[in-house]
Amino acid sequence: MSRIKVIAGNWKMNKTASEATEFVNQLKANVKGAAAEVVVGVPFVCIPGVKKAVEGSNIKVAAQNMHFEEKGAFTGEVSGPMLADLGVEYVIIGHSERRQYFAETNETVNKKAHAAFKYGIIPIICVGESLAERENGVTADLVRYQVKTALLGLTEEQVKKTVIAYEPIWAIGTGKTATNEQANEVCAIIRNTVKELYGSNVSEAIRIQYGGSVNAATAKDLFSMSDIDGGLVGGASLKTEDFGKIVKYDA
């Protein structure tokens, strides 16, 4: 099965609303005609302006998080209906920074995945291990558990649409990158886990990204690996030229 690569930029807590709109207006020319699906994960306050700016282009918009409840006394949170009303197509769920700093758990990731689908938003679910966990040889078991818990209760059709991003925590923002073989090995573990749960049709359809200091120099070789279907890009997605080169890695 031929899977369309999906390359998403995770801007994290960067760019004001006006800066984001200006950036996307510049980015459109750099990614026009790309074979890969292009997504920008922007801060909540930037979503309205960015959605308007990407109209007529091949850029889709992701939120960086969401709450699993529809509404309620959750000060500072943003719900699925709020994102859906703005036309958001994707939402990043369970990023390691959310897990580390904001008490995100495998269980809340699962709740958010269900909520995303309820409101027509595709989740990009992040999984990955720390350096200590890799050195202790528990990467495979840990990632399998994260995937199984995240997907619990989702239907086959929902899982086919889901994007899973493998992000080794030790390679995020450190300049370190897993070797192509290391990255592909874990992405294959993720795909095999999905196969065990849902069968080969679903496992061949689901797209699995690699994230962790992806840049213009490493993208082509990473994305040519058998089980890597694009990337979740951090710092390099904040530069129009660099992100354009990553998106058009095969040009």
Provide the residue ranges of all domains of the chain, joining segments of one domain with +: 6-247
Is pLDDT above 90 for 213?
Answer: no
Distance (Å, rounded) from C-alpha 212 to C-alpha 177?
6
The confidence score (pLDDT) of residue 208 equals 98
Is 114 a catalytic site residue? no
The per-residue pLDDT of the chain, averaged, comes to 95
Summarize the confidence of residues 5-16 as an average pLDDT: 98
User: Is residue 39 a contact partner of residue 123, using CB atoms and an 8 Å limit?
Assistant: no
Residue type, 7: I
CATH homologous superfamily of domain 6-247? Aldolase class I (3.20.20.70)
In this prediction, residue 205 has a pLDDT band, given cuts at 50, 70 and 90, of very high
Distance (Å, rounded) from C-alpha 122 to C-alpha 160?
10
**Catalytically annotated residue among 97, 104, 129, 167:** 167
Is pLDDT above 70 for 1?
Answer: no
Going 241 to 242 to 248 to 250, the CA torsion angle's sign is positive
Summarize the confidence of residues 159-165 as an average pLDDT: 98
- Give per-residue pLDDT as tens, 137-154: 999 999 999 999 999 999
The confidence score (pLDDT) of residue 122 equals 98
- Give per-residue pLDDT as tens, 37-68: 999 999 999 999 999 999 999 999 999 999 99
In this prediction, residue 176 has a pLDDT band, given cuts at 50, 70 and 90, of confident
β-pairing, 163-166 with 207-211? parallel
The confidence score (pLDDT) of residue 131 equals 86
> Of 42, 40, 41, 34, whose CA–CA distance to 5 is shortest?
34
Summarize the confidence of residues 196-207 as an average pLDDT: 98
Is pLDDT above 90 for 171?
Answer: no
What Å distances lie between residue 100 and 29, 127, 180, CA to CA?
36, 12, 26
Is the pTM higher than 0.85? The answer reads yes
Is 95 a catalytic site residue? yes
User: Is residue 160 a contact partner of residue 127, using CB atoms and an 8 Å limit?
Assistant: no
**Catalytically annotated residue among 95, 97, 104, 129:** 95
> Of 56, 61, 17, 70, whose CA–CA distance to 40 is shortest?
61
Distance (Å, rounded) from C-alpha 3 to C-alpha 36?
10
- For 149, other C-beta atoms within 10 Å of its C-beta total 16
Structure tokens at 146: 């994260």
- Radius of gyration of the chain from Cα atoms? 17
Buried b (16+ CB within 10 A) or exposed e, 47-65: bebbbebbeeeebbbbbbb
